[in-house]
Structures are given as structure tokens and as C-alpha cells.
């Protein structure tokens, strides 16, 4: 197990040239973008490419003044990179598992640290989690994506989707919360009694509370976010 000749290894791990979807999971941890135009991705996610592709850091006013101010308030937030041209682009993020969604006039909110890539047809906006400012050292924002097109997110290990039903509030650890349906607006609560067991910020347990009808995606890993401040 795990021993190959060089030819066997190449055959087992090489890219599949027959796949031609716009977003294609080359492996569960590598996203192939069959690019013929533009795509937005997380800064630093490019690991390889072929063809004629140019990369450009998101300009300050690329998405309008309002989003620039939100990024400043969140300590940069998620920096985006635009890839333009024609070719094959390979994206990954620290070996995290990748999931691709096809949005059809739908919306999803994604933790800014867990957004990998999305089509230019997708509209997006940054939402600040103001109530968590001063409690957590980072991860204070999420990105709302809506419209029609493909979105790729990342998780540590296998994600689990929790259904939110009317009258049944779902509580999650913010560090383990990846995404949720766009119609839900989480509330935040602190619980001093559990501070010994949960929470990484001020010593209090910070929980996200989801009420209504929708879904929440969590991961079996508490991710510590890095502040955007130097």
C-alpha cells in the first residue's frame, strides 16, 4: 500500500484531461477551473495552471466603495484574486476538502476564510458580525453569495449539514461553522458556564444561534482565524 513505480504513480495521480466542466473536482482537495474568461478565487489559492492565464489582485475599488470600507473594518477580510484568460487553473487551500455548489437563483453565506472560488456571475457582499467584535480575535465576517453560478468552499475534513427547522434553534461553535443558507441570520450568545470547555477569545463561550428554516454547514475542526491586522 502506497508503493508505486513512477509510471503507476503518474497514471494514478495525473489530471483527467477528459473533464471539461467549468469547476471540476480533480481530487477532493484540488479544484480544476476550466477557464475561458474570468474567475474569482481566494488570494494564494493557485497551485498550478496551463494555458494563457493572467492573475490580478483585487483592486481597491474593484467591487465598489462600500465593500472597500467593509474590508477595512474587517481587517482586510478575504483578499480575492481574479484569473483571466483561457486554460486550466488548479486551486487549493491548505489541503482542505473542497465542495462545489451550483446556485440557481439561490444564496448562501460562507465564512470568509472558507470561500475558495466563485463565478463572476455570482453577486457577493461582505457582512460584518458586529456582535462578535472584541470577543473573537478574527473570523468577524462572512460573504453572502447569490445568483446563478458555481461556488467552491473548503472545509477541514468532511462537512456535516444541520437542518434548521421552525421552532428548533440550532447552536454552533463559530470556529467550526462554515456556511449557512442565505435566508438565515445567525444571532450570537455567550455562555459563561461553558467557558472552561468552549471558546477561544475572551474565555467566554460564543455560540451562533440559527432559527427559522434552512441549513448550517459545520466542520469537525475548530479553526482559529488570523486577524488581518499586522
Maximum C-alpha span of the chain: 58
Residue 206's pLDDT band, with cuts at 50, 70 and 90, is confident
**Which carries the bigger pLDDT value, residue 225 or residue 223?**
223
pTM, two decimal places: 0.81
How confident is the prediction for the chain on average, in pLDDT? 82
| Each residue's pLDDT tens digit, 56-94 | 986 654 555 455 445 544 444 567 899 999 999 999 999
| Each residue's pLDDT tens digit, 147-181 | 999 999 999 999 999 999 999 999 999 889 999 99
**CATH number, span 20-218:** 3.60.160.10
Q: What is the DSSP string of 132-184?
A: GBTTBSS--EEEEEEEEEEEEEEESSS-EEEEEBTTB-EEE-GGGEEEEETT-
Examine the pLDDT at 102 and tell me if it is beyond 70.
yes
Amino acid at each position: 500500500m502506497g508503493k508505486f513505480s513512477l509510471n503507476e504513480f503518474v497514471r494514478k495521480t495525473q489530471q483527467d484531461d477528459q473533464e471539461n466542466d467549468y469547476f471540476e473536482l480533480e481530487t477532493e482537495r484540488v479544484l480544476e477551473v476550466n477557464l475561458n474568461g474570468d474567475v474569482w478565487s481566494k488570494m494564494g489559492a493557485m497551485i498550478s495552471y496551463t494555458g494563457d492565464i493572467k492573475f490580478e489582485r483585487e483592486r481597491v475599488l474593484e467591487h465598489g466603495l462600500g465593500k472597500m470600507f467593509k474590508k477595512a473594518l474587517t481587517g482586510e477580510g478575504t483578499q480575492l484574486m481574479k484569473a483571466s484568460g483561457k486554460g486550466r487553473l488548479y486551486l487549493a487551500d491548505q489541503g482542505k476538502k473542497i465542495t462545489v455548489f451550483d446556485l440557481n437563483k439561490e444564496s448562501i453565506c460562507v465564512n470568509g476564510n472558507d470561500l475558495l472560488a466563485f463565478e463572476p456571475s455570482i453577486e457577493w457582499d461582505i457582512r460584518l458580525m458586529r456582535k462578535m467584535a472584541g470577543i473573537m480575535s478574527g473570523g468577524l465576517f462572512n460573504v453572502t453569495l447569490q445568483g446563478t453560478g458555481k461556488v467552491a468552499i473548503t472545509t477541514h475534513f468532511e462537512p456535516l449539514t444541520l437542518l434548521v427547522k421552525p421552532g428548533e434553534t440550532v447552536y454552533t461553535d463559530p470556529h467550526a461553522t462554515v456556511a449557512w443558507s442565505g435566508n438565515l441570520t445567525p444571532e450570537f450568545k455567550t455562555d459563561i458556564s461553558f467557558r472552561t470547555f468552549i471558546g477561544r477569545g475572551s474565555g467566554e463561550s460564543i455560540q451562533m444561534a440559527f432559527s427559522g428554516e434552512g441549513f448550517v454547514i459545520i466542520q469537525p475542526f475548530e479553526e482559529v482565524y488570523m486577524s488581518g491586522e499586522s
